[in-house]
């Protein structure tokens, strides 16, 4: 079974903190994604990566950065967390025909 693992299920951080969300996949997929999910807005793409050290901005990259130093790991970084970044964050990895998702990280910024 393909497994995509996100490091935390729930996180509470303070405004201004630097936050790292980690994602690891075990299927040697080249493509990895970070989405943000908010009620009524669906899933919005923050960043994606199609290879090690390669990254592309999605629809809402402002306030975020990413890192992909190894093929299996894709990290989302909130440089200075703000309350409007309180959300559910979903990581995914994919082949050309299917995407596999992690369980999600519920981030609350207070």
From CA 43, how far away is CA 99, in angstroms rounded?
A: 14
Q: Which of 96, 110, 87, 108 is nearest to 34 (CA)?
A: 87
Figure out which of the listed residues 23, 36, 48, 107 binds other proteins, where binding follows CB under 8 A: 48
The answer to whether the CB of 6 falls within 8 A of the CB of 102 is: yes
Q: 43 Cβ partners below 8 Å, 6+ apart? A: 35, 36, 37, 90
CB of 15 to other proteins, least distance (A): 25
Of 7, 30, 72, 73, the residue at the interface with other proteins (CB under 8 A) is 30
Using CB under 8 A as the criterion, what x/- string covers residues 68-97 for binding other proteins?
Answer: --------------------x-x-x-x-xx
Euclidean distance between CA atoms 18 and 51, whole angstroms: 25
What's the rounded Cα separation, in Å, for the pair 104 and 5? 9
- The region of 17-25, 47-55, 70-78, 79-87 touching other proteins under the rule CB under 8 A is 47-55
Stretch that binds other proteins, among 11-19, 28-36, 61-69, 76-84 (CB under 8 A): 28-36
- Binding region for other proteins (CB under 8 A): 30-31, 33, 35, 40-43, 45, 48, 50-51, 54, 56, 58-59, 88, 90, 92, 94, 96-99, 101-104
């Amino acid at each position: 079974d393909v497994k995509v693992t996100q490091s935390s299920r729930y996180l509470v951080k303070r405004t201004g903190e630097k936050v790292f969300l980690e994602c690891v996949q075990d299927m040697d997929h080249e493509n990895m994604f970070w989405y943000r999910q908010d009620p009524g807005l669906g899933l919005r793409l923050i960043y994606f990566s199609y290879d090690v050290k390669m990254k592309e901005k999605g629809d809402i990259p402002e306030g975020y950065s990413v890192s992909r130093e190894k093929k299996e790991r894709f990290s989302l970084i909130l440089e200075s967390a703000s309350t409007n970044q309180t959300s559910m964050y979903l990581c995914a990895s994919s082949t050309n025909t299917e995407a596999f998702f992690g369980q999600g990280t519920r981030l609350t910024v207070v």
